[in-house]
């Protein structure tokens, strides 16, 4: 989809919520996903607003801790130019992403 398409619009077009429900998975979304999952069963989002009670702040911290590794991994993958315009079969991009992950971990640990 074009980059100007909002995440929730793309999720509705591709029926992501139904796929999550069918697979029995839960997704962690950012505050932009408030209202996307009306039941609150498949997409967990942090609390919005200011002056939240301590319990909501703690829940937001836990949510951020769970989302953090995925956000960092996505940011690292975006820095690798090879994934900007893959010229191979789309099924092979998964293997490329896994190889990049291995190389990135090696670079970080050997660093």
How far is the C-alpha of 35 from the C-alpha of 87, rounded, in Å? 37
On whether residue 79 sits in a domain, the answer given is: no
Q: Is 5 helix (H, G, I), strand (E, B) or coil?
A: coil
On whether residue 103 sits in a domain, the answer given is: no
On whether residue 17 sits in a domain, the answer given is: yes
How far is the C-alpha of 101 from the C-alpha of 23, rounded, in Å? 25
> What is the residue range of 10's domain?
1-45
On whether residue 88 sits in a domain, the answer given is: no
On whether residue 9 sits in a domain, the answer given is: yes
Q: How do residues 9-21 score in pLDDT, each as one tens digit?
A: 888 899 988 998 9
What's the structural domain count of the chain?
1
Q: How do residues 25-71 score in pLDDT, each as one tens digit?
A: 999 888 888 888 888 788 899 999 999 999 999 999 999 999 988 88
């Amino acid at each position: 989809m074009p980059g100007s398409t909002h995440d929730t619009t793309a999720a509705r077009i591709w029926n992501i919520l139904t796929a999550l429900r069918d697979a029995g998975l839960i997704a962690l979304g950012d505050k932009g996903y408030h209202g996307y999952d009306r039941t609150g069963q498949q997409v967990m989002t942090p609390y919005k607003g200011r002056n939240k009670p301590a319990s909501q702040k703690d829940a937001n911290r836990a949510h951020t801790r769970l989302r953090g590794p995925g956000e960092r991994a996505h940011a690292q993958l975006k820095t690798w130019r090879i994934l900007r315009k893959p010229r191979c079969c789309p099924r092979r991009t998964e293997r490329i992403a896994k190889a990049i992950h291995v190389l990135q971990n090696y670079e970080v640990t050997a660093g």
